[in-house]
Structure 1
């Protein structure tokens, strides 16, 4: 750790600190029983009419939101107190080196961390990762902050923005009981001088409204500290955080210091977010030397709603709307097992009905109408489209095309007849012909399952995403019964599945997929080996076959074999209710409570900006009431919440386009992480120069041309060597 020396004057200063242990009687520990944490049922679909068990269920205590509430560095326990800035070796900042080019900065952000136990680091990384913004992390507790760390040898600034995980970067208490800043006084001055000279903005993710290490023009309201409040954007806040509506945003499980604006010579403070009493929770502030700063007086965590809603706007403010990468949001909903009959849960007995369930042609036509109403009722999802993962082995191709419910009752197979009418209504995705488990199938079987299903879909007139595949149970990717010998591919598995890794994938499936023109293969986001935790918005290039790219999908709590609200809640409560197999809730949830918790989880996943589908199953499409189905109820609950807070459109792509988008983003993110793609913003020229060591894709937000999303344009292309693009900073 760097040597720290405190001056007598500095010992009197007050600013924030993070207390990571108990905080006396005012310690806030959320009640997990009543916390709004939606556990997720991982649904392992089995063959039709075969299974009586959905397999291993996740521990709801592993919910990211619950961990955010209850872990030792919870934002709800983040208390601020007495601290000081140690005196540096020099009384002033180190002089800027000769030859500085103050109009030029690299398109990269510097995160300044206070070292071990810095809970704010996770949010800093997460918010930049969501938008694809490159960053470096400097551990200020062990690494010195020098001009060389901020300015390159060519005089170009290394960073376009600076994030402080907390505004004073405090360390644990010293022998005096006070908490020293990880930066000494000369290092702070060096940072401030860099920000001033290069016009770099500074974002403090959490801070006490005081005067150390610098004054933001805010003062804490005595006795107003709380871990439960709400925040609403001011008119200025709507300008800075342009994606937000005027709705109150709940702040739960995060300690807050409501503040008032103080008159400070040379400082101009503008509130952005206020609580119900009009007290400030976020503000921009211009210092006496002209630097632009933004301070949040509420603790942040990547799993909390207020943090997720603020992140997009904060990144755009910090980077002046010009940065590598982009943040988009998606609503992709897959429905598996179309054409197949499957298990049907009996809410009265807790078992299964003797008769398997298959949606009717009327149900299918009703889904068409529900999809149309979603588009009209929710303008932010105007291009929403269900993706139907179909199993052609359950279809008949020798039927008439019927587009009205008046005639489906006399059809040979009403679902097949209606599907012919709906060929262009949905996105159709290959789900194999018969839903066989593909963990150990031979090549000929895998090839037939894929090729035959494409042929059946073509005869039915379905518009199919030809490069995409969803296998039954996401099988063939190494999450399997380790003793599986292939003799039960159309029945229940014999032992609990285990994550054996992608290296245990079935090479016959992968080869057959490539032979049939398939590039994009659905994987299960709840299985660790089938996602990339180093890049939460990336897919996965399969390690055994570079011709296959994995698209992770989100599970949810709508079980695969339920068709009505009573069945949905009956099964869910049999798992997580007080008498369930994994008791979690203190009471059995009603359907409204169930939807509320499910949409909370889905909203969190949508706000993260990853282009990953959610998936349900054909029984969830039953029209249990006029214009109603479980799947559409889920979509509407999510969209109602989303539209309450955000104005950003939700994208829905056909599976082939979704896979291509995700693969492109993954290549770009990996190129930035390895240093193969970078950029420099020239303020004077109004342009960005991109550099690459190979031919790689790029996305530039803030470009003068390109596609408009929200209030920002982003331009995509491929760069090999260098390219210069015009930008329009905010």
Structure 2
């Protein structure tokens, strides 16, 4: 009778997608609540630092217990778990330790009991392949340049976003970078060891586990026997898999691999590097000092054929480059300018960003009578800055070019502080941005790595590429690279000898571009891509002209990515404003995590997320198959469809929570 009444009520309400709990056929397991937060036992070692960096990149909440601190909290049963509303609660969903012997005695017992009771997993950040972790050591040594392999168990256990092969970094053949122990299973009776990532002895010989799961005593620990640091490429590639395994794919946090490239100065001619006098024509070449310098009107400017090549490249790669333009260059070229005609004809193919009308320096008034230049004490006026912004927008509209007027890249990122000459922003910049409705203004990530507010705008850091603005040919790029990175004795500038952040190289020959510059510059950009950093890169229109030297670098980045990641994990190509949005979300989320604004836990197969503060975007990552619970009636769930977007075999999204807002998800 009761079930008939319930069914009738549901029919009257017209509810669909309802999950009806079945009567228990056996005694139900005790309820457990698992809070979505990780515990990190920190010994200041590299392994722990690598994992903390990955947690930070993804925005996974975690607490740190500093093992080196005097008077630190003692790990007890109460430290790890308690009871809330009559339900046993695990305060942590995963534990990261330096190694299996990081804590001993009563602390080790409390940790083991906790992990056993709540089925909480543990990662040993770096350890020896020994019997304590169910292994024997098959071989140990330097693995630089070797190729690791994600096993089928690894793909099923968190690393499914990778195709399989993962090269170990070998950035400097003269330096040992990655030491590893190849482990062979020696799990005792009643225990198992399952390799997730394997490696092989260089030159042939032993093979073994570098990351694997030791299941024993009712617990699981992922044993890492490969040394890595937060900056190594293979650590970046494997990092997400470690977090996914630890949390069983259910956690707060979000990751994507971003790749956007801005092409500055479109429509302008860029000054050209002089390979004889090692200076830039029209910039720092001195006609009195260098009377035989190349003609001073020699510049580099894209042609209509370069525009067609860009369209072809974009369509073939599935990635758009952002056209950062100066309309004044088009006007100066004349009404019949073929470049302008080609861009306008293909305007639907491009994403456009305002780069000011004529690309003037918008900071202090510069004094070039000395080297390096200095500020005169005067500033470019607000009126002049506003005119450059507005005039370029008006020019674009006159050509029917689609443009978001809230986005801006100033020439040379000028107007923003530039050390050492200009330690503060032009005070006229902020009001000019506000007056013109600018919300996003580019900054140089090599100078400022974090976003900040300038008037109505937020800065968006961009990564410079070492494909120089003043080169269009392979020969010019190699020549300038040699000038900057070789010693005076080798014919270079010697800058590398006096700069602690730089290293001198041997002079590159004709093959240096393909064999040295492309690999190193593409590796730097690739590391940005796989570190969940939304910052765009930038190059210049000159690099798409003549030899089109930017494309080999971009192709190398994309080829490596597509050889490493599955098609279910595509590279994301955000627009300028989208990069700014991600920066803003990440910053706000970091602050919210530190203040514990969000409460999130797993209970009875459901994740409940509650915002205890002001409105906030919350990142969430869940297993494939997770659905939204849109309502609950008499203990019955009303399904609201699949949660989030598919990426890397998971479902993930940023969700907006109002003050005191809540969302419930059913985890499959």
Task: Say yes or no: TM over 0.5.
Answer: yes
Task: Note the 1:359-508 alignment, pairs <5 A.
Answer: 359-375=302-318, 384-396=319-331, 412-439=336-363, 440-480=379-419, 482=421, 500=423, 504-508=424-428
The CA deviation at 1:134 is: 1.1
The CA deviation at 1:275 is: 1.6
Please give the alpha-carbon distance, in whole angstroms, between the structure 2 residues aligned to 1:243 and 1:106.
26
1:164 alignment counterpart: 97
The CA deviation at 1:191 is: 0.8
1:575 alignment counterpart: 484
**1:194 equivalent among 101, 114, 117:** 114
User: Is the Cα contact below 8 Å between 1:324 and 1:701 reproduced in 2?
Assistant: yes
**1:346 equivalent among 274, 279, 289:** 274
The CA deviation at 1:607 is: 0.9
User: Is the Cα contact below 8 Å between 1:397 and 1:459 reproduced in 2?
Assistant: no
The CA deviation at 1:102 is: 6.1
User: Is the Cα contact below 8 Å between 1:329 and 1:609 reproduced in 2?
Assistant: yes
User: Is the Cα contact below 8 Å between 1:102 and 1:197 reproduced in 2?
Assistant: no
User: Is the Cα contact below 8 Å between 2:439 and 2:458 reproduced in 1?
Assistant: yes
**1:591 equivalent among 500, 509, 513:** 513
1:718 alignment counterpart: 656
User: Is the Cα contact below 8 Å between 2:51 and 2:239 reproduced in 1?
Assistant: no
1:233 alignment counterpart: 150
2:39 alignment counterpart: 110
The CA deviation at 1:148 is: 3.0
2:635 alignment counterpart: none
User: Is the Cα contact below 8 Å between 2:94 and 2:121 reproduced in 1?
Assistant: yes
The CA deviation at 1:109 is: 0.9
The CA deviation at 1:227 is: 4.7
**1:638 equivalent among 557, 573, 576:** 557
Please give the alpha-carbon distance, in whole angstroms, between the structure 2 residues aligned to 1:447 and 1:716.
35
**1:247 equivalent among 140, 160, 165:** 165
Q: Deviations over 1:544-564 (max 9, x none)?
A: 53x221111111211111101
Q: Does 1:267 align with 2:191?
A: yes
User: Is the Cα contact below 8 Å between 2:473 and 2:549 reproduced in 1?
Assistant: yes
**1:219 equivalent among 136, 151, 157:** 136
User: Is the Cα contact below 8 Å between 2:519 and 2:553 reproduced in 1?
Assistant: no
Q: Deviations over 1:302-343 (max 9, x none)?
A: 111221111011111111111112010111000111111121
1:295 alignment counterpart: 223
Please give the alpha-carbon distance, in whole angstroms, between the structure 2 residues aligned to 1:156 and 1:448.
61
**1:661 equivalent among 582, 585, 588:** 582
Q: TM-score, normalised by structure 1?
A: 0.73
> Which runs of at least 4 in structure 1 moved beyond 4 Å after TM superposition?
none
Task: Note the 1:85-234 alignment, pairs <5 A.
Answer: 103-114=32-43, 117-142=44-69, 143=72, 144-152=74-82, 154=84, 155-169=88-102, 183-211=103-131, 215-221=132-138, 224-228=140-144, 229-234=146-151
* CA gap 1:360/1:226 in 2 versus in 1, 3 angstroms: closer
Please give the alpha-carbon distance, in whole angstroms, between the structure 1 residues aligned to 2:412 and 2:317.
28
RMSD: 2.2
Please give the alpha-carbon distance, in whole angstroms, between the structure 1 residues aligned to 2:82 and 2:57.
27
* CA gap 1:617/1:152 in 2 versus in 1, 3 angstroms: farther
* CA gap 1:507/1:675 in 2 versus in 1, 3 angstroms: farther
The CA deviation at 1:430 is: 0.7
Structure 2 unaligned runs (5+)? 1-28, 171-176, 201-205, 282-293, 364-378, 497-503, 628-642
1:687 alignment counterpart: 607
Structure 1 unaligned runs (5+)? 1-99, 170-182, 376-383, 400-410, 483-497, 533-539
Q: What SS class does the counterpart of residue 465 from structure 1 fall into?
A: coil
The CA deviation at 1:248 is: 4.5
* Bigger proportion of residues as strand: 2
Q: Deviations over 1:213-262 (max 9, x none)?
A: xx3321112x5333534311122122221111122422541211111111
Give the number of equivalent residue pairs: 556
The CA deviation at 1:296 is: 0.9
1:36 alignment counterpart: none
The CA deviation at 1:515 is: 2.0
Q: Deviations over 1:81-115 (max 9, x none)?
A: xxxxxxxxxxxxxxxxxxx986212211111112x
User: Is the Cα contact below 8 Å between 1:120 and 1:166 reproduced in 2?
Assistant: no
User: Is the Cα contact below 8 Å between 1:322 and 1:727 reproduced in 2?
Assistant: no
Computing the radius of gyration from Cα coordinates, the structure with the larger value is 2
The CA deviation at 1:347 is: 3.1
